């Protein structure tokens, strides 16, 4: 695996997943997440599945968990809305733990007005569902928050959200 030019906080997230035995990575395409996913695809510890829609990922990580493999769903916050029924009627009532790694849209450095209403609503919707959100804001806190936030899902027996804020990522233009 090449780690040339590896961004340290990308490594921190990948290692937080590894330390929590999260092996199945389900994702919908996103430019902020893309370099993290590329590294996971090159790492035999992980099994990466590309989805057509975020909701599929809730089903996929549920099936994997039932079969003994922990999973994570990587998505843009604008696609979070596509998961709500699956969270409410599958992951939460069946108590399926997994990590949602959300790439934030609609905040600092957003360039597209249509992303703002949905993006800004994500923390409130998560809260309404009783899903804890742990924002990643500064590079020096990612190691701790990602490791402990991911671990928390398996203690709480429910999904948790780790949000890659645009403050951390620089948004689409900050890559």
Partner 1 sequence: MGASATSLQHMSRLELTRRIVSAAGNELLVSGIGNATFDLIAAQDRVENFYMMGSMGLAIPIALGLAIAQPQRSVVVMEGEGSILMNLGALATVGREAPPNLTIVIWDNAQWQLTGGQPVATESSCDIAAVARACGIAHVDSPADPNAFERLVQRAIDSPGPHAIVARIDATGGRSAHMDPVYLKHRFMRALGLTPD
Q: Which stretches of the chain bind partner 1, using CB under 8 A? A: 24, 47, 49-53, 55-69, 71, 85-86, 88-90, 93-97, 154-155, 157
Closest separation between CB of residue 150 and partner 1, Å?
12
**Cα gap 59→164, rounded to integer Å:** 23
Closest separation between CB of residue 173 and partner 1, Å?
29
* Of 73 and 145, CB closest to partner 1: 73
* Of 97 and 171, CB closest to partner 1: 97
* DSSP-assigned letters across all residues of 8-29: HHHHHHHHHHHHTTEEEEEE--
Residue 85 phi/psi, 5° resolution?
Answer: -65, -35
Closest separation between CB of residue 20 and partner 1, Å?
11
Closest separation between CB of residue 112 and partner 1, Å?
24
* Of 56 and 104, CB closest to partner 1: 56
Instruction: Report strand pairing: 47-50 vs 160-164.
Output: unpaired
**Cα gap 64→156, rounded to integer Å:** 18
* Of 59 and 118, CB closest to partner 1: 59
Query: Is residue 168 within 8 Å of residue 142, measured between CB atoms?
Result: yes
């Amino acid at each position: 695996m090449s780690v040339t030019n590896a961004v340290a906080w990308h490594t921190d997230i990948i290692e937080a997943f590894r330390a929590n035995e999260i092996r199945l990575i389900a994702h919908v395409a996103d430019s902020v997440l893309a370099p993290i996913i590329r590294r996971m695809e090159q790492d035999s510890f992980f099994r990466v599945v590309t989805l057509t829609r975020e909701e599929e990922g809730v089903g996929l990580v549920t099936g994997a968990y039932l079969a003994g493999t922990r999973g994570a769903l990587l998505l843009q916050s604008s696609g979070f809305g596509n998961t709500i029924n699956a969270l409410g009627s599958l992951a939460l009532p069946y108590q399926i733990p997994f990590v949602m790694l959300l790439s934030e849209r609609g905040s600092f450095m957003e360039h597209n007005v249509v992303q703002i209403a949905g993006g800004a609503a994500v923390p409130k919707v998560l809260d309404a569902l009783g899903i804890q959100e742990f924002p990643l804001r500064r590079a020096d806190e990612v190691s701790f928050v990602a490791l402990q936030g991911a671990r928390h899902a398996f203690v709480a027996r429910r999904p948790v959200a780790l949000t890659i804020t645009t403050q951390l990522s620089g948004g689409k233009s900050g890559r």
